[in-house]
Amino acid sequence: MIRIKNLDKIFNPSTKKAAHVLKEINLQINKGELVILKGVSGSGKSTLLSIISAMDKPTSGEVIVDGKAVSKLPDIHASHFRANSIGFIFQHFNLLDELSVKDNISIVLIPLGLSIKTVDEKVQKSMELANISHKADQQVKELSGGEKQRCAIARALVNDPGIILCDEPTANLDRTNSLHFIELVKTLQKMGKTIVIATHDPLFEEAGFHDSILHMSDGELGEPK
Amino acid sequence: MSEIFLSNEVLIYLLSESVIYVLILIAALLSLQLIIKWDFGSYSEIQFTLEKRAYLVMTIITFAFIVKIATLPYFAYGIDKLSDLVPGAMCASGVIGANEYGYPLLGLKIATVFISGTWIIINNLDLQSPNYPFFRIKTGLFLLIAILISIELFLDFTYFGNITTTKPVSCCSVTFGQQGGSNPLPFGLDTAKLLVLFYLFYFMTAISAIGRYAATGFVANILFLVTAYYAVVYFFGTYIYELPTHKCPFCMLQKEYYYVGYLVWASLFSGTFFGINSLPLKWFAKKDVLYTYKFSLFFNTLFVLLVSAYVLVYYLKNGVWL
Amino acid sequence: MANSTFLRFLLLLLYQYRSKHAGIAVISSLIVALLSAVLFISQSIQAETALQLKAQPDFVVQRIRAGKRIDVPVEWLEEIQEINGVSSVTPRVYGEYYFSPREEHFLLFGVDFFDEQSSKAIEKIVQETDLRKFLSKEQMIVGDGVKKFLQEHYYKGFYNFKNPDGEIIKVPVYSSFDKETNIISNDMIIMPMELLRSIFAMDEETLTDIAFNVPNEAEWDNVLTKLHLLHYDIRVITKEEITKSYHNLFNYKGGLFLALYLITIMTFILIIYQRYAMVAVGWSIKDVLKLKFFETSIIVLLSFINGVIIAYCYVYLFDAPLLSNLFLGSENLSNEVAFMPVVDFGLLGSIFLFFGIPFIAAVLIPVWKIAVTEPKEAMK
Ligand SMILES: Nc1ncnc2c1ncn2[C@@H]1O[C@H](COP(=O)(O)OP(=O)(O)OP(=O)(O)O)[C@@H](O)[C@H]1O
Ligand SMILES: [Mg+2]
């Protein structure tokens, strides 16, 4: 469960460039729930995701994940939290081009100190889930956009996280691949994952996620329609 | 400029010390800022910047300290090398006594290495918990060490700058030998009593390590350190040199004795370092830092076995005691 | 510590970015090799000179007139012998013989083969010589450099000296001495005193200088004062002075260090690359740092071992072509020397320390970068 209380984020406070990006955000996302954040560019979606994943810190307010305040963790503990509880899918995938699909996925597990056997098993399982296991040994730079996406998804799933955060997951995909992604989201939902997706892709409405959509504009959160 | 500065070892040593000092200086300035502005409860941008910077500072310091610890034996080696250049010096003892800065410098170095080691352990404890509980303690301690290291660097240059290659110095035979039959041991001890104390104190450190008695260990290790120093110089050393009149803590660092001195002193310093530190660390962390006991026991035992082995082997080979 | 997945990933990275790593390793190896070669050479020379100097007499007495050295009368011998604490007083007759077309010179050294030698090196040569055979006619024993020189100039086992009056004196070579210990005596020729006097047309009653030992170091100052009281035109050279001037000569070459140091730092700056992607997927700065540390360590260790081995072969197997000229000076006779291998762990420590500190700086720089960049940057 994610609880966000009175969250404010101001970039460069008390300077001329000050930008109030998140304003008094209050939100509770239950375990297994799917939330889609919609909003125009610059409305603060990515910032909110980065604060939930403890990559960025709020100016005030709190983010509590499974009863633990994560917004004030020192680097090592924040990374620990990310490695154990969060799967992140980035708009630009953030993969290491020279490495193979398999190795890119295993990067997440390295700081956890698992045995090689466990790592290989987990990597294999998540590749199957994301339907990319047939490209396991191919270098990422040789993949198509959709395949890269699936590789990124496999990486987000490999640590078996309770929470999956997606930032514009379909922005670089064609319609077919986007639809594939949506199918996968449904599967993950069935597995009981908590999912937060930031997007402005209308496809999600078409796919019948109406109830889950939250509108964001200018750093403020609207009520679900 | 003194010709001492042209010696390869001295040059490398001083260069290393200076580079490390620059790192320490940067870290000290950042630390000063950290300790003044630090407010962990705050969500301000400044605090976040400070937290990131704290990590940088901590990394710099850790590296600098590790290099400092590594340069201690190198310092001994460089000094030993200089004995070729300084008239009258046969080993590091003569060179270190070449002017009045030598022994204070050596003492300060050993002290700095001890405290730096403590800092590294506290820092690791600090990183293990999610809210920097020892932040102020470790930053304060670091600033203290930074001051010591500043004095040390000053002494480094003053010491090497003031070694003359014209004035003969007196070496270990004079410094540590018996002058006019007077007893060099403190408290009027004789060799037999010294050895009894040596093994007794070792026994105490071992018991404290096994039973995790931090306070007893603290006292026992200090006593052991002092006794062991005298025991090595006035008793065990003579077996290393196989000469009853050769009394010197430095000559054993030389090649003729297979550099065994480095092992002897390193094991003694490591063992007593962990033994002494159990107490303050327990006090900071509010619990026993278990590995300090293990390492203390291990290194102290290694040290005692090593020096005792020299005596036994000599006896087995020659059938007599020195 | 490093668990096996970590190790696997580390090796994978090293392999994937192998051309970059190899480039760095090659440059680093060369720097280490150069640095080690310089240290090996100066260490060997120092060890060699230490040996040579041990064999030198404690004091040498010369006579000065108008700032120039002139010959010493034999009477001085007895005067010095009478000073308390003095031993092995040896008359010495020697001089430099110029081979003018090539601007080269030999050191001719006259020896009284039946006397006690104050120089242990010469003592050794004398002992190894069959005196009866050697002294049966006028012959000489030559250093290795001289032997080579004679061969190059087509002298088959002899040399024609010219005395100041232009008369030719033909002297056959009896034997030559060891290449292993020739850093100082490479260009030396040993011959009986009378032969040397005739080559230089020296007076029978004069000596070049007088060498002697004073076993008790405490007496040195005392003896020095007495000598100066004896004659106003006396010059005394002590072994101590020579020792120090040698030391300095070789230490000065250490100036190469600073330049090398800068190059080393530049190399390591090259190693820095960012891998922020990992920070976003659960790696802490500590993990990134650990990876960088091991990555750099492996390269450093490999370069270190490589460099030292290259330097060892270069100096001790191939006798350091080019670099040895820098150290021994090339103005004199052949400088082909065989360096005695002198490698101790302190020397290796020197090299490693010198090499390791820029390495630390190189690992620290990514922390700087990470510490000043928003972790959120990783998302972009
Ligand atoms: N580091 C920063 N410093 C200053 N302003 C920032 C910073 N990061 C983001 N912003 C500003 O915050 C606002 C929200 O950015 P954010 O990336 O959260 O928007 P978004 O909703 O994800 O937009 P998009 O749909 O384009 O991805 C933008 O106006 C952006 O310029
Ligand atoms: Mg965005």
User: Of the candidates A174, A167, A225, which has an alpha carbon nearest to the alpha carbon of residue A203?
Assistant: A174
pLDDT recorded at residue C182: 46
* Range scoring the smallest mean pLDDT among B40-54, B140-154, C330-344: C330-344
Same domain for B158 and B184? no
Q: Is there an atom of ligand 1 within 6 Å of A55 CB?
A: no
Flag whether the ipTM exceeds 0.85.
no
Separation between Cα atoms, residue B261 and residue B254, nearest integer Å:
8
User: Of the candidates C171, C175, C94, which has an alpha carbon nearest to the alpha carbon of residue C133?
Assistant: C175
Report, as ranges of residue numbers, the positions in chain C whose pLDDT lies below 50: 1-2, 182-184, 330-336
With an 8 Å Cβ cutoff, the interface of chain A facing chain B consists of: 12-13, 57-60, 71-77
Predicted confidence (pLDDT) at residue B48 exceeds the cutoff of 80: no
Same domain for B91 and B204? no
The answer to whether the CB atoms of B52 and C372 lie below 8 A apart is yes
Same domain for B217 and B310? yes
Same domain for B149 and B19? yes
Q: Name the strand (E) or helix (H) holding C35.
A: helix C18-54
- Shortest Cα distance, chain A CAs vs residue C305, angstroms: 29
**Extended strands (E) in B103-261:** none
Name residues whose C-beta falls within 8 Å of residue C378's C-beta, 6 or more positions apart in sequence: A55, A94, C276, C277, C279, C280
**Extended strands (E) in chain C:** 59-65, 68-70, 72-73, 87-99, 104-111, 140-142, 158-162, 168-176, 188-192, 206-207, 209-213, 234-238
Contact A63, A52 (CB under 8 A): yes
C-alpha dihedral over A213, A215, A216, A218, to 10 degrees?
Answer: 170
Contact C213, C118 (CB under 8 A): yes
Same domain for B225 and B151? no
C367 interface with B at CB cutoff 8 Å: yes
* C120 CB-contact burial (10 Å; exposed 0-12 / middle 13-18 / buried 19+): middle
* Range scoring the smallest mean pLDDT among A39-53, A149-163, C288-302: C288-302
Q: Read off the pLDDT band of B201 (50, 70, 90).
A: very high
Closest Cβ opposite residue C285 in set B55, B67, B259: B55
Q: Name the strand (E) or helix (H) holding C212.
A: strand C209-213
pLDDT recorded at residue C59: 82
**Model pLDDT for residues B10-38, shown as the tens digit of each residue:** 888 888 898 889 889 989 998 998 888 88
Alpha helices, DSSP H, located in C55-101: 75-81
Pair type for strands C68-70 and C140-142: unpaired
Per DSSP, A139 falls in state B
Same domain for B204 and B69? no
The domain containing residue B263 runs over which residues? Answer: 178-318
Per DSSP, C56 falls in state S
Conformational region of residue B245, where left means phi above 0, alpha means psi within -120 to 50, and beta covers everything else:
alpha
Predicted confidence (pLDDT) at residue B219 exceeds the cutoff of 60: yes
Mean pLDDT of B178-206: 81
pLDDT recorded at residue B45: 67
Name residues whose C-beta falls within 8 Å of residue A145's C-beta, 6 or more positions apart in sequence: A172, A173, A174, A177
Closest Cβ opposite residue C376 in set A55, A112, A155: A55
Name residues whose C-beta falls within 8 Å of residue B212's C-beta, 6 or more positions apart in sequence: B278, B288, B290, B293
Mean pLDDT of B51-67: 84
Same domain for B69 and B200? no
Mean pLDDT of A152-175: 89
Q: Retrieve residue A183's tokens.
A: 């199918």
Give residue A215 CA to ligand 1 midpoint distance, Å.
16
Which of B144, B170, B196 marks a domain boundary?
A: B170
Which of B120, B147, B170 marks a domain boundary?
A: B170
Partnered with residue A100 across adjacent β-strands are: A139
Residues B280, B281, B285, B289, CA torsion sign: negative
- Shortest Cα distance, chain C CAs vs residue A162, angstroms: 14
**Residue ranges of domains in chain C:** 3-51+244-378, 59-213
Separation between Cα atoms, residue C325 and residue C344, nearest integer Å:
24
B9 interface with A at CB cutoff 8 Å: no
Q: Is there an atom of ligand 1 within 6 Å of A199 CB?
A: no
pLDDT recorded at residue C218: 64
CA angle in degrees (0–180, nearest 5) for A39-A40-A42 = 105
DSSP 3-state assignment of A60?
strand
Alpha helices, DSSP H, located in B232-289: 237-241, 260-285
Residues with CB under 5 A from ligand 2 (ion): A 46
Predicted confidence (pLDDT) at residue B85 exceeds the cutoff of 50: yes
C368 interface with B at CB cutoff 8 Å: yes
Which of B134, B153, B170 marks a domain boundary?
A: B170
* Number of domains chain B is built from: 2
Partnered with residue A2 across adjacent β-strands are: A29, A65
- Shortest Cα distance, chain B CAs vs residue A61, angstroms: 9
Separation between Cα atoms, residue B34 and residue B51, nearest integer Å:
9
CA-closest residue to ligand 1 atom 2? A11
